[in-house]
Structure 1
Amino acid sequence: MLKSLGALLALGLAGLQFLAVLAVVFSSYLTSQTALLNHARDLLRDVGINTMEHSKGFLSPAEGAAELAARLAQNRVVASDDPRRLEQLLFQQLQIAPQFAGVYYGAANGDFVYVMRSPDQPGVFRSKIIERTHTGARQTRLIWRNGDFSVRKATLDPEDRFDPRTRPWYIKASEQGSTIWTDPYIFFSSQQPGITLAAPVFRNDRAVRGVVGVDIEISMISEFLSRLNIGTHGKALIIHRNGDVIAHPNQELIKTKTADGALRFADIREIEDPIARAAFGPAAERGAIPATKETPLQFIHDGERYVSTMMPVISDKLPWTIAVYAPENDFTEVIKRNRTMNIWLAALVAAVTAAVGLGLAVYIHKPVRAFAVRTALVSQGEIDPDEPMPKTYRELERANAALVQEIFARRAAEREYGETFNMSSRGMAQIAAGCGRITRVNKRFADIVGREVETLIGMPFGDLIHPDDAQNFVAPDRSEDGEFVLNRDLRCIGGNGQTIWVIVNAITIRDRQGQVLHAVLTMDDVTQSRSREQEIERLNKDLSHLARGNTMGQMASGLAHELNQPLAVIAQNADTALLMLDRKGDDGELHDIIAEIEQQSLRAGDIIRALRSFIRKDEGIRTAFNFPELLDQALRLMQAEATEAGVSIETRLPDDLPQVEGNRVQIAQVLVNLLRNAIEAIASQSGNQREIAIGATVAAGFVTVSVDDTGPGIAPDLSLFSQFETTKANGMGLGLSICRSIVEANGGALWLDEKAENGTRFCFTIPLHQSQAM
């Protein structure tokens, strides 16, 4: 009877447990399957968004580079008619952007300067320059250069007949008059997929002077797609608006040959990726590409179910659709296998539970039954109550042995954790909860902060943090509940005193009762990436400053034009009032006041005209003009700055200085720039002698102008006339380079007179007017 009841109890318990496990397994399977499918769609959407942002981030520098090169050429910062200087500018742009395959400039007269990467040629870079010689003949030069711009090889190509004006990028940019993107195509030379961006360069009359172009290889986007983990078999691709697949994890699939042997992109309806054809080919047939909104899809291919998503086009300039697909089993296969395994595990657990329960019931009941029998015998007087108790509780000894075995297993797990901690590729540290001190670190953590492991043990973690970031840091000993959760960027002080940017993540470890044991912290060194971000931020600020300066110049020009008219009216009315007073014979105090009004209004008009002529657009016309008059206008413009800096300006011009010939506005720009540099140099030092002297002499058909200042002089190791070389903290290093270009364009020369005894002396020449030079 006892055995039958025990067996019934064990089987009933096992059956209930089996049914409960099955119910949990099936309900968990259904909810997990729905959740995983939703997660799969979210994952595909995230992949699409990530690919869109990567593509925009990959291509946006090209647009900025092309527009910057066009503005530099248009504003004559770098002369587009000087092939060598233009080649050097394009060479620098190509070195800055690794995704650029080539940068070039095509002129309206057919001249062409092209710089491209050439890793398999004699040099790392190859330049192609087409220009007209002084006889009008066409000449094509090929130059291979090293990374430092030195020439490796140069040759002529008399067979070349390339004309940039016939190319689609030149025609489209010239007609639209703005930056354009071409459709993707396969580059002829590298056989790689790419896209071209072009921006026009205008003359002052808005006629197209030339077009700046950038070739970008987009194969790097395919490489990015190949590194994406989308389940186990999922893939992402990019489809152009005409249905061409321009990026795919397998780059060989996107290229196909035409009937004449040329390469072109494969259409989504013909690509040798059958799953991609099944997923997005019907959409192309229906005209749903490019997609206008996010489009999730489900389809079946070869009996297997798939999920896919098409993202809306990136932009009007880049009408690309990001398409992603993955098998459903990549996300649900695990829970299917887990469901089957759980069912078998539930059956096994139920059987084992039944057997163990039956044995346990018998084993537990055995001493109870012996106790009951002994009690009955004692009550009947057949056994003496003082006899020793039977040894029926040996299970306590076995429980103790099991506890010892568990302790050994726990120690082995702790040893494995310690090895993982020490061998981790990330910096790891263990922080005491009560005091915030470091109790354990690995070698990687010590290498990041530049200290020895023994030095770090016992040190408060807050002592490693930079003082500027320490005020926002809450140590574990200051937390109200001992919680220490951290996920942020910090600056730490290294062992040699240098600043280190790190990403720190920390979590609090608690025991089963919720008491804080310690905190585990991981650290990654991101100093180099932060340095690059700061460099990019400084460049953006400089470019924004340049744009604001241009805007203020336009505002000043408009203001000068508007103020000139009321000043003219004031002068005319004052002159009329003087005439009326003269008729009446009144030459008293009122006459003097009105005369002063007329004089000051004329003086204000002169200042406004000088300001307007200085900031208005240069028309490029060289005329004869009086240099002393131009110098007087320039001094009026700079008088306020000189007065504020406490600098006096003295002119030493001969009385019979002849007229000179050149662009009057450009020469004024040179004068103002040299005067401003001299004023700033003197203002940067303390001293009693704060003077600027301007002199002029006539010799050999030129007027030589000198600007002397009593400033600190020029450092001997500074290349003054090189672009982007400057001694000013906020300068861009273009002023003297532009001044030399302006003077040379007007037939003169600009140089630093190194024989000056005190301060600095800059000299430049202006040609005499032809009638004066003869």
Structure 2
Amino acid sequence: MRIPSRLVITSVFAGLVVVLAALIIVSSALTSRTVLSRHARTIMENIASYTIDKAQSHLIPARQAARLTRGLSRTNIVSSRDTDSMVAYFYEQLYLYPQFSGIYFGSKDGEFIMASRYNLIAPGGYYTKIVRIDGLRRSVEQIYKAADGSMIRRQFDPTDTFDPRTRPWYTRAHTANALAWTDPYIFFTSQKPGITTANPVYDGNGEFVGIIGVDIGIEELSTFISKLNVSENGLAFIMSRSGDIIAYPEMDKLRRADGADRSRLTRITELDDPVGREAFLSLGLPPDNLHLEEPVFTSFALNGERYNAMFAPFSDSEWPWVIAIYMPEDDYLGAIKTNSTQNILIALVAVVIALAMGLLVASKLSRAREMAEGADEAKSHFLARMSHEIRTPMNAMLGAGELLAETRLNGDQRRYVAIYQSAGEHLRELVRDVLDLSRFESGRFRLECTPFNLRSTIDKACALFTLEARNKGLDLHCRFEPGTPEHLMGDPTALRQVLVNLMSNAVKFTRQGSVILGVRCVEAPAAKDEAGNETVLLEFSVSDTGIGIPADKQALVFERFSQADGSTSRKYGGTGLGLAICRTLVRHMGGDIALRSAPEAGTAITFSVRLALDPSGGIRETPTPPRPPRPDSEPRRILLVEDDERNRLLFTLFLKDIPHSLDTAENGEEALRKHFAAPYDLILMDIEMAGMDGYQTTQAVRARERETGLPEVPIVAVTAHALTEAETKSRMHGCTGFLAKPVTKAALRETVERHLGEGFGEAAD
């Protein structure tokens, strides 16, 4: 029987189309699987990094408190000879850091001073224990207080034989002669997980006097990871290298009975989570000796379902912990598995359906791409958020350093304060760089176009490094070539940031010789910009006689988080963001950047930008905003709205000697009650607060003023959000001024002076 050729051709054609469609669908499904698997891995990496940073930031205050107390003891600011002052200082640390369970000092003679939280007698109560030794006489005093500080009971216990020198935290720190951390354990009093840090203390003569210890609760880590959105059925937990579970979403699974009256942490092999146990077993490592140098990814099957897992070590060696994350494959591949058979069957019926399935796969790829882009957006949002969270305590740190520098200090103390302030300024620059990077990646960065004086910008950039260059014996020169226009239009802040970054590197990496900043006009006024102004091409150069850069490393220095030598960051400091940001800023300004360098022969970095000439030639009238009339001798009333206790105290100290009264409010609701009861003359408004935030509070004040016909009270937004958008948003909500944290004393006082219309100068020492 002869088969018609048309049927043969149609069959062959249809078969080819179906095969092609099936290949497209299968290959696309595999591609989707790869993309989504990679995306799942990225999710786990981001969650691990975020959780590790959160956990370490929770523990760092204990280390800082122990080191600070050691320093204060060395200078006799806090001394065990004055038990009252030391107890008061310990309780101040407990109030400041809610994660602290107790802080104590054990002397080399066996004396002991402790302040701790104690809930067995009264909820939220406190317990003080003081062991004194006077010759052969030993006394143990115990004080119990309620949450409000009132006395419950005070007694002496002659049966107490406690000796701090026998405790593990004491012996470990004394033996190591350095700050030491215990393994996590269950606190006896609270029955919650915690960890202890201890640090040896020496007097001014270098003699050992005892050990300072801090107990810090870590139950907050379990609360934190319980809120993580790993995936629909995924989970994260934290464990120690010895196999103890430190943090778990269900906190009751952390404890195991260890005798009649004591509890211990659950071990990974005992964990009531078969998936978690299997995830650990898939590592193939012993449960009591888990050492990882870098993140490890594993896959395993349990009850017919496949899982992916990741184990990542903490970056700080002080806490030898590991975060574990697992998620089922079906959480991100379930749709592909469910639809794969149906897709193939549909592909066999017709070309149209095959094409439709191709479109479906393309749609899936598009969704996968959108998920990846969403992860990138989440990263940028996280960077901006972390910048805000860092700026709030940094404001208190830098402000405290500024206040301390104004006190009477001896030479060593002034040098220590200078080191503290220098480190704080470096941290502020780092946060700014990270925030700039976030703005670039999210596409929110916009250049300004304002008139400015180029010579003034150059001079100010050089002036920042005059003292540092002089201290290093360097010759610092700024050259403004003849014929270079001074009055320009552009973004002076961005230009100054590039110059300061380049000058900072030049001075930092130059041991002897000179650093030269120069600018020249390489193209006369020619093309016009969008506003019709003539433009010029300017070339800037920063050259030094420093250590130089090898030729094979020069391409790396403009990449993010990269440096020419890995040891550079350890010797000179830095994150590798500065030059990457410089290149981005220069390209936004329509130019490019390049360098010439050789080892031990110095470095020269040049960049060119095109800027418009100022059509006014620099002749402008800058109107001076009218100041409110100066009142009679009656002082004005100021309200500070700030939910952070440290910043309330700091701002109060900044303004303690002004001829006005300062009142404070912890939140927006309290601020409205006080202002509506007796209106203030100026309000300093924190923006991000729990409950009613600063924007809502400001709008409520403005609405009340409109209803009652009262004049508008000046409201200055004080926020850790340093983006230009934050200032614009605050003014849209009714604020009349803006201050970005960290806030200096001078900036705060100048703001108050400007809005109240009278000067009061600087406080006398």
Provide TM-score, normalisation by structure 2. 0.45
Q: Which structure's CA Rg is the greater one?
A: 1
- TM-score under structure 1 length normalisation: 0.44
Greater relative contact order, per chain length (Cα 8 Å cut-off, separation 6+): 2
